[in-house]
């Protein structure tokens, strides 16, 4: 199962873009990259996912490198409510199994 590596913590100024990196060097060709976030022990909240191409939705953008070994989640204008643990996850191909790592604790500061 592909695993992910994320920095344990990051800070970001309110109103600035938050760029959260993730390494997934052993990802297989048909495995998706998902991002979830978890605020204060609530259930994880879906943010975005992608396979090969960059993706954007109302919450964030996902940039996946051409070799698919790493990706970056971008929150374009971080707010204090974006303070959370962000998980980069590889979904095992042909199953629903999500393999969570330790995540990155993002602290958005005023």
28 part of the interface to other proteins, by CB under 8 A: no
Would you say 16 or 61 has its CB closer to other proteins? 61
Q: Exactly one of 41, 53, 66, 110 binds other proteins (CB under 8 A); which one?
A: 41
The secondary structure of the chain, three-state, reads CCCCECCCEEEEECCCCEEEEEECCCCCCCCEEEEEEECCCCCCEEEEEECCCCEECCCCEEEECCCCCEEEEEECCCCHHHCEEEEEEEECCCCCCEECCCCEEEEEEC
Q: Exactly one of 9, 26, 28, 45 binds other proteins (CB under 8 A); which one?
A: 45
102 part of the interface to other proteins, by CB under 8 A: yes
Provide the binding-site residues for other proteins, judged by CB under 8 A. Answer: 36, 41-46, 49, 87, 91, 94-103
């Amino acid at each position: 199962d592909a695993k992910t590596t994320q920095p344990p913590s990051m800070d970001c100024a309110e109103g600035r873009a938050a760029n959260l990196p993730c390494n997934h060097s052993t990802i297989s060709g048909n495995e998706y990259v998902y991002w979830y976030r978890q605020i204060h022990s609530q259930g994880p909240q879906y943010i975005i996912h992608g396979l090969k191409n960059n993706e954007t939705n109302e919450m964030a953008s996902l940039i996946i490198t051409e070799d698919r070994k790493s990706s970056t989640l971008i929150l374009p204008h971080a707010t204090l409510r974006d303070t959370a643990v962000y998980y980069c996850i590889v979904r095992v191909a042909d199953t629903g199994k999500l393999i969570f790592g330790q995540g990155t604790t993002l602290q958005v500061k005023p």
